[in-house]
């Protein structure tokens, strides 16, 4: 879906025309040519269709209609004092509040051209929520916020990615173009033709317990900077297109169809109460049986589209016994109909009936097709409705149901999947199931990783953390304690917590050089113990995929007395349990305690977890701060140590201060990201770079 047109040569409007097969021509901002299916949010002449900002969604909801009207009148006056149209361009003078569309939008595709001045800071609010970030990536005071990584991502995120995949900004003072696609709670963003956000959840800043609102305004954010906008085009995405995109995003890998589109083959139970017609399963009017799959399932993801008549009702049944009389129900009903106004919250769409209530407001009107995905893994139930997670509950934490005792389905480890009939003509189509955890994931093609060719890749530029993001256990993508900072031209790892500084890009076939020295501080459960860190190589899979903290990878260990140990970290998807395997083959011997030790020419073993000690690790190693073995080759505490890692295909060699200390073959995966760990010990890094294999560093 990414655009291949040279954005530097065209305005957003011209690009859309080209994508639609229409002849491109220079577009004047004050005379926008609106492509089919799009509307112009800005007409190039005045502020028609825009209004001033009134509070936040939370404070607006607390106002009476009269209070909102008066507040809007005042906000519009402020808006007109600071936002204006100059030569067909929306201009903000740097004072005042956000500019908001009068209309609210749900799923959409948006194009917008923007420009800022040096030191500028702004953003695009989606559904009245901040924000697709805009700022000056070379403005040093913003480095502490991560501006060096560029514009385009969701800086306010904490539990989901918050920095762009690549820096794609043009020089400050030049026009940039966003393309933003938002469906449900997720958005994808292209900046100047480059993908910078890939299907990421945008968190609800106003209340992080809730998903982002189903509808809201598009806002141009004020952050005290002079701003310029033009060529704002929006296309609303309808249910059919949204459902298709949602299915493509989730992928069909491992899914098996539950319905052949012709008849009820593979189903049992009250089959006379349902019929197969025109590619759909339809509940017969007036019939109230339950249709069940012939097969039973334990952990799984089930996808479907459903459509309700006005006031209609049905339900998805899971973990149901052969009798069809029990199981747990995910209600499917037209909750906007007055007949359901008195239902309990846990009877509403997306809930686990009687046990856990889902967030509401994400169901489409009766007569439209909805896309629903339900994951059942152990006692965890996760329901996504039209692209938004409306329920994520662990039933093991629930002591009793609304009716008293827990239903037997809560204790069931497996059962049938079913559709409940309630006498209405609810319809279902495109039903598919994927059993969990499924087969292990396959590493991405290594050709997608970057290989240093013409000279070194300086992962750390000595100024900021451009090209990196953080993942810290219990903090996810936020780093409120500033564990990773740049001080005096060095990466300073405070050591607090467990996690890592991770490259945005994957790499392969390189000669890694890192120079580090220990600080004095140790933290928490490692206070007074051996200082510990490491470089994870060939990282892949989800963040937190290993022990909820790191990624599946191969580690080059950095620990007092054990610098150069090799560890294998096989991970898994925290949500689905799918394995992300890692493995190496090494030549070893064993020490007096039976631990594996690298020994060139020794016994060949293949491991998918565990550690291979560097050849000279002291057999009397002790987990105490300041430990130093008699044969250690790393530098004494407080001095700089150099580690080299030579990654050539599926072969790894570790060197410490010039001494080869470990080696592995048949390494899988053989490419991936790099991660600098924090493991409760202070660390400084002054050099972190990748050299071409045929151009090793002169030193």
pLDDT in tens, 301-345: 999 999 999 999 999 999 999 877 789 999 999 999 999 999 999
Share of the chain above pLDDT 90, in %: 90
Inform me whether the pLDDT recorded for 347 exceeds 50: yes
Segment 171-176 mean pLDDT? 97
Tokens 């057999």, residue? 619
pLDDT of residue 31: 61
Inform me whether the pLDDT recorded for 580 exceeds 90: yes
pLDDT of residue 451: 98
* Contact partners, residue 417, CB within 8 Å, separation at least 6: 258, 292, 293, 297, 300, 302, 316, 317, 318, 320, 433
Domains of the chain: 7-237 (2.60.120.560), 249-435 (2.60.120.560), 446-690 (2.60.120.560)
- Asked if omega into 131 is within 30° of 0 (cis), the reply is yes
Q: Which of 432, 20, 509, 492 is nearest to 260 (CA)?
A: 432
Share of the chain above pLDDT 70, in %: 95
Inform me whether the pLDDT recorded for 2 exceeds 70: no
Lowest mean pLDDT among 24-38, 498-512, 524-538: 24-38
pLDDT of residue 408: 83
Where residue 13 falls among pLDDT bands split at 50, 70, 90?
very low
Lowest mean pLDDT among 196-210, 311-325, 376-390, 496-510: 311-325
Q: What are the beta bridge partners of residue 606? A: 585
List, in sequence order, every beta strand (DSSP E) within 244-289: 256-257, 267-269, 274-277, 280-283
CA 470, 474, 475, 476 dihedral sign is positive
Segment 666-676 mean pLDDT? 98
Inform me whether the pLDDT recorded for 409 exceeds 90: no
Where residue 30 falls among pLDDT bands split at 50, 70, 90?
low
Lowest mean pLDDT among 30-34, 72-76, 267-271, 274-278: 30-34
Q: 332 near 364, Cβ under 8 Å?
A: no
CA 324, 330, 336, 340 dihedral sign is positive
Secondary structure (3-state) at 229: strand
Residue environment code for 593-608, b if the CB has 16+ CB neighbours within 10 A, otherwise e? eebbbbeeeeeeeebe
The pLDDT tens digits for 180-238 are: 999 999 999 999 999 999 999 999 999 999 999 999 999 999 888 999 999 999 999 99
Where residue 400 falls among pLDDT bands split at 50, 70, 90?
confident
Inform me whether the pLDDT recorded for 403 exceeds 90: no
d(CA 396, CA 373): 21
DSSP state of 107: S
The pLDDT tens digits for 273-296 are: 999 988 999 999 999 999 999 999
pLDDT of residue 430: 96
The pLDDT tens digits for 115-150 are: 999 999 999 999 999 999 999 999 999 999 999 999
Inform me whether the pLDDT recorded for 11 exceeds 70: no
pTM for this prediction? 0.93
Rg (CA), the chain: 28
* HSE, side-chain direction, 13 A CA sphere, residue 625: 15
Phi/psi at 387 (5° precision): 90, 5
The pLDDT tens digits for 87-108 are: 999 999 999 999 999 999 999 9
What is the rounded average pLDDT for all residues in the chain?
93
The larger pLDDT score, comparing residue 660 to residue 402, is at 660
Strands 681-691 and 427-435, bridge-based pairing: unpaired
Strands 380-385 and 369-377, bridge-based pairing: antiparallel
* Contact partners, residue 81, CB within 8 Å, separation at least 6: 96
């Amino acid at each position: 879906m990414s655009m291949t047109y040279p954005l530097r040569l065209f305005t957003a409007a011209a690009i859309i025309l080209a994508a639609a097969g229409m002849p491109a021509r220079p577009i004047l901002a004050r005379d926008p040519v609106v492509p089919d299916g799009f509307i112009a949010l800005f007409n190039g002449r005045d502020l028609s269709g825009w209004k001033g900002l009134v509070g936040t969604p939370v404070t607006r909801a607390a106002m009476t209609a009269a209070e909102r009207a008066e507040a809007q009148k005042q906000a519009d006056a402020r808006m007109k004092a600071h936002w204006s149209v100059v030569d067909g361009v929306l201009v903000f003078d740097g004072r005042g509040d956000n500019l908001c569309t009068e209309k609210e939008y749900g799923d959409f595709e948006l194009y917008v051209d923007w420009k800022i001045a040096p030191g500028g800071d702004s953003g695009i609010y989606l559904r009245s929520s901040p924000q697709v970030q805009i700022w000056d990536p070379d403005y040093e005071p913003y480095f502490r916020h991560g501006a060096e990584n560029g514009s385009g991502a969701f800086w306010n995120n904490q539990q989901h990615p918050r920095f762009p995949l690549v820096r794609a900004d043009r020089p400050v003072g030049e026009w940039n173009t966003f393309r933003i696609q938002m469906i449900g709670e997720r958005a994808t963003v292209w900046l100047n033709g480059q993908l910078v956000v890939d299907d990421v959840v945008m968190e609800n800043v106003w209340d992080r317990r809730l998903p982002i609102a189903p509808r809201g305004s598009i806002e141009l954010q004020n952050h005290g900077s002079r701003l310029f906008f033009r060529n704002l085009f929006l296309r609303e995405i309808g249910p059919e297109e949204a459902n298709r995109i949602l299915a493509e995003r989730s992928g069909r890998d491992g899914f098996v169809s539950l319905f052949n589109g012709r008849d009820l083959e593979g189903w049992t139970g009250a089959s006379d109460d349902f019929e197969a017609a025109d590619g759909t399963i339809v509940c017969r009017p007036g019939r109230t049986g339950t249709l069940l799959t012939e097969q039973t399932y334990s952990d799984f993801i089930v996808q479907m589209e459903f459509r309700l008549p006005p006031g209609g009702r049905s339900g998805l049944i899971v973990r149901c016994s052969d009798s069809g009389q029990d199981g747990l129900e995910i209600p499917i009903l037209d909750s906007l109909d007055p007949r359901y106004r008195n239902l309990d919250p846990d009877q509403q769409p997306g809930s686990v009936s009687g046990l856990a209530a889902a967030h509401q407001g994400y169901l489409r009107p009766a007569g439209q097709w909805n896309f629903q995905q339900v994951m059942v893994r152990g006692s965890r139930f996760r329901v996504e409705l039209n692209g938004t997670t409306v329920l994520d509950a662990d039933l093991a934490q629930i002591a009793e149901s609304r009716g008293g005792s827990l239903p037997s389905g809560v204790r069931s480890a497996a059962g049938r999947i079913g559709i409940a009939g309630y006498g209405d003509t609810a319809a279902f189509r495109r039903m598919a199931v994927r059993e969990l955890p499924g087969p292990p994931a396959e590493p991405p093609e290594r050709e997608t990783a970057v290989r240093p060719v013409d000279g070194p890749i300086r992962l750390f530029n000595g100024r900021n953390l451009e090209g990196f993001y953080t993942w810290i256990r219990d903090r996810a993508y936020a780093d409120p304690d500033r564990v990773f900072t740049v001080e005096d031209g060095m990466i300073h790892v405070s050591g607090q917590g467990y996690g890592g500084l991770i490259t945005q890009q994957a790499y392969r076939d390189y000669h890694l050089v890192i120079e580090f020295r220990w600080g004095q501080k140790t933290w928490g459960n490692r206070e007074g113990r051996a200082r510990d860190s490491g470089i994870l190589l060939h990282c892949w899979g989800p963040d937190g995929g290993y022990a909820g903290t790191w990624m599946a990878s191969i580690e080059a260990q950095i620990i007092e007395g054990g610098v150069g140990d090799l560890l294998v970290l096989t991970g898994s998807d925290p949500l689905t349990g799918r394995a992300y395997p890692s493995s190496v083959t090494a030549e070893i011997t064993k020490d007096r305690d039976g631990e594996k030790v690298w020994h060139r020419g020794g016994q060949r073993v293949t491991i998918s977890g565990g550690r291979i000690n560097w050849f000279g690790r002291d057999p009397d190693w002790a987990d105490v701060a300041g430990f130093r073995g008699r044969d250690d080759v790393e530098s004494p505490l407080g001095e700089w140590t150099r580690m080299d890692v030579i990654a050539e295909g599926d072969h790894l060699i570790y060197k410490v201060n010039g001494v080869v200390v470990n080696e592995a073959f048949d390494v899988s995966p053989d490419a991936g990201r790099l991660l600098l760990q924090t493991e409760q010990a202070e660390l400084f890094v002054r050099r972190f770079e990748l050299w071409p294999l045929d151009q090793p560093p002169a030193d």
